[in-house]
Each structure stands twice: as C-alpha cells, then as structure tokens.
Amino acid sequence: MKKLVETLNETFNNSFEVDDISKVEIDSRNIKEGDLFFAINNGKNYIAEVLEKKASFVICDDQKWSGNKKVLVVEDTVKAMQLLAKNYRKKLKIKIVGITGSEGKTTTKDIIHGVLSSKYQTKKTLGNHNNHIGLPLTILNLQEDDEFGVIEMGMSNKGEIPVLCDIAGIDYGVITNIGDSHLEFMINRDNVFAEKSQIKNYIDSDKLFLFGDDVYLKNLKGNKIGFNLENNFIIRNYKETPNGVDFILNNKNYSFKLNGKHNCINASMGVAIGLSLGLTSSEIQKGLDLVNVTSMRFQKIEKNGTLYINDAYNASPVSMKASLETFDNIDFSKKKLAILADMGEMGSDEIKFHQEVLEYALKTKIDTFILMGSRMKEAMKSFNDERLIYCDTKDEIKKLISTSYKDNVILLKGSNFNHLWKII
C-alpha cells in the first residue's frame, strides 16, 4: 500500500520511516508485521505490544510517545484516521457504492459485492464496520488495484451520513428503506428520512438506487426498484422456495439463496446496480449465487436434528414483521416456533412498537411464540393468547426447547444485545 504511505506523509507533513503498510488495524490482537495501528480509546495501552509485533507505524493521542520515530502523536486519533482515509480515497481510482437505510444494509452490501465481484475486483465493509470509525478503517484497507468498494453507512444521530459520504467519496448510492430504527435518538421517521436522504447530495440522481415502494423514498429522484409499476426496475413473480426466492426483474429471471420478500428486494437492488453498470443477466446471477452473506441474516442452522433460522443480528418493527411473514410463508412440513426478544433504540414508544409486533405475530399461522426481555414482557400483557410464552433467560428457553419443541422449526429474532444465537 505505497499510496497509503505517500498519503500518510502528505497528510501530516512529515517524512516517516515507513516503507510500506500491509493493512490498517484498530485491534492490537490482530496486529501483524508491517501493519499501521490506530490506538483508539484504550488502544494506547497496547502501543508497546504492537511495536514488539513489528507494526510499521502507530498513530495515537498519548503524549508520552512523542519523539518515538514509529509513533505519530495527534490531538484526536479518530479525526486523524478520518482525515487520512479521506485523503487516501482521493488517490484511488476505485468506484465506491455507499449503502444506507433503516434495514437490510448489510445483506444488500453482501449482494452488491457478490454481483460486482463476478466482473470486477471488489471489496466490501467487513462485518458491521459502518460508523465514523469502521468506515474509514474500510477505506484505509482498500488496495490500489481494487475497482469497486461496497461501503455500508450506518447512523444513530443527525449529521452522521454527510460525514461518512465525505470520507468515502461515494460514486453510487443506495437507500434500502426508511423505518423505525434509532428512534431513541431520531424521534420519528421524518428525521430518519431527512438524515438518510442526505446521500443524494453527494451523487447525481442517475447513480442513486432506492426502494421505490417506500412511502418516503418514492418521491426522491433516482433509480427506483420495487413491485409497483411506477418503478424503473419492476419486481414480478416473487416466489418463496425451500432454497430461497425466485423473481423476475425487468423481464429476466433471477434467484437468491435467502428467503423473504425483503431479501427479494435486497437482491433486486443488486441486480439493478449490476444492470446499470453493464453486467449481463448471467453475470449477475453468477454473482448472486456466490454471495457470501453475513451471518445471522435468516441463516439456516441444523443442530441436533432441529432446524434453527437465526435472524437475530438486529431488529426493528419492520424487520421483525418481515421475518415473521417469511417464516409464516415457508412450508417446512413441521410445527413452527418463533423466539422473539426485545428491540433496542425504540424511544419513548418502545412498548407500543413491541405490542404492534406481537399483534402482527398472532395473525400468522406460526404455532408458538417464546418471548424474552423486559419490553416483550410488558407488551405481552396486552394479549391473552396461549401461543405466547414468556421466559426470563436463554437457559429457560433452551430447556423448554429440549423438552417440548425440539421437533419444531425455530426462528430467532431480536436485537443483537439479546445474544439469541447462544440458544443454538
């Protein structure tokens, strides 16, 4: 990464004793010889350790390291990282696709990465590195010969999307939808839309891709994808299969390995971008087949003869209902059990949102629901239905499954802080 070394010297007006950088790290445990380490938060406690591991360079805000030729001391490590990433991105010929929205960002990122990888050398955000630290880390680890980068852009407060767009220097943009995520900080959907839609200010409308059926997004200028006939890319003949979804987009047949109408929409976003960038339908389908989906997104796991569907990376009212709808529509020829846990960052109306999810759940044909978490416990009081069972802990749920429900197909859905995956 010679250009990164060049950018490092130019950004901080210095001539550092660095020949090359292998990769950029913020976790001292992952440091290998030749890495650049940003000592963020308590990372400053591990500077001596990473230098022993032969890190090429360290950037920190701890004055006691002043004078060390392998360490640059700055006023703010995170801001230094963002500035370096912004300057490095300007030196790269890569095209960046920035993805935001309330739900489906990570899966859509994985899909677009898979589609573009069928023709181009493409990198993507790893895991959930989508904030003011994770995004610049992703940018700094791009290689000079990469052709496309697919970057996830998350937010929880106002003003964050413009910062991320500015650092990433996006060429294409995607807004998956506008939902009820982060209402603890954003108060209402109008504010969520106002923030997410800031992405439109950084690209031309012909390079913006939107879910056109969304009540907020349908009036934005851009390439609209959805089921309504007013969209530029129209989804038809959506069908659930045991292996995922089949659908037609602009008169061509496609299939994708994840179940759910929401995943059909996510896949259609990837198809639309692929078509717009000149890929053939066969190249796009090849990319869809090779998509490496991030775990805990409607992930099917067989364990001790029981089929679990782990959709518990995160949760909002929209994604909860989508997951329940998908689970309800698939024919597994077995009884179905849904384990539903609390949703976070729902704001002052959090109990109302949990009640709405339970009301929706009870309209499905799903046989049983096990609930966990204080919000679900409170919301459950509004219903008198024997299909609802409450458990205080995951151990209680495991015991209940082993005694009464091990022959069921089991869906797990809730915000990540519940750690529902531990049940499996």
Q: Which of 83, 111, 140 is the last residue of a domain?
A: 83
Q: Which of 237, 255, 289 is the last residue of a domain?
A: 289
Are residues 76 and 14 part of one domain?
yes
Q: Residue 394's pLDDT is what? A: 97
Are residues 34 and 117 part of one domain?
no
* Whole-angstrom distance, CA of residue 47 vs CA of residue 36: 11
How open is the CA angle 116-89-11, to the nearest 5 degrees?
A: 165
Count helices and strands (H / E) in the chain. Answer: 14, 19
Are residues 417 and 282 part of one domain?
no
Are residues 312 and 399 part of one domain?
yes
Q: What is the CATH number of the domain that holds 113?
A: 3.40.1190.10
Q: Residue 113's pLDDT is what? A: 97
Q: Residue 192's pLDDT is what? A: 86
360 lies in a domain? yes
Q: What is the CATH number of the domain that holds 13?
A: 3.40.1390.10
3-class SS of residue 92: coil
200 lies in a domain? yes
Q: Residue 392's pLDDT is what? A: 96
Are residues 247 and 185 part of one domain?
yes
Are residues 104 and 127 part of one domain?
yes
**pLDDT tens per residue, range 394-415:** 999 999 999 999 999 999 999 9
Q: Residue 243's pLDDT is what? A: 84
Are residues 120 and 243 part of one domain?
yes
Q: Tokens standing for 57?
A: 């360079």
Cross-strand partners of 37: 25, 58
* Whole-angstrom distance, CA of residue 377 vs CA of residue 341: 9
Contact, 301 vs 308, CB < 8 A?
Answer: yes
Could you give phi then psi for residue 321, rounded to 5 degrees?
Answer: -65, -40
Q: Which of 242, 271, 289 is the last residue of a domain?
A: 289
Total domains present in the chain? 3
- Mean per-residue pLDDT pooled into runs of 10, the chain (424 residues): 90 80 94 95 93 94 90 95 97 97 91 97 87 94 96 87 96 90 66 91 97 94 97 95 91 94 95 97 96 83 92 89 91 93 89 96 97 97 96 96 94 95 94
Are residues 324 and 266 part of one domain?
no
Q: Residue 168's pLDDT is what? A: 96
Are residues 283 and 304 part of one domain?
no
Spatial neighbors of 42 by CB under 8 A, at least 6 apart, are none
294 lies in a domain? no
Q: Read out DSSP for 118-162?
A: TTS-EEE--TT--STTHHHHHHHT--TT--EEEEE---SSTTHHH
Are residues 184 and 245 part of one domain?
yes
Are residues 164 and 263 part of one domain?
yes
Q: The domain containing residue 31 runs over which residues? A: 2-83
Q: Read out DSSP for 345-394?
A: S-GGGHHHHHHHHHHHHTTS---EEEEESHHHHHHHTT---TTEEE-SSH
Contact, 140 vs 85, CB < 8 A?
Answer: yes
Are residues 282 and 165 part of one domain?
yes
Residue 363: is it exposed, middle or buried by C-beta count within 10 angstroms (0-12/13-18/19+)? exposed
Q: Residue 13's pLDDT is what? A: 81
199 lies in a domain? yes
How open is the CA angle 388-391-156, to the nearest 5 degrees?
A: 90
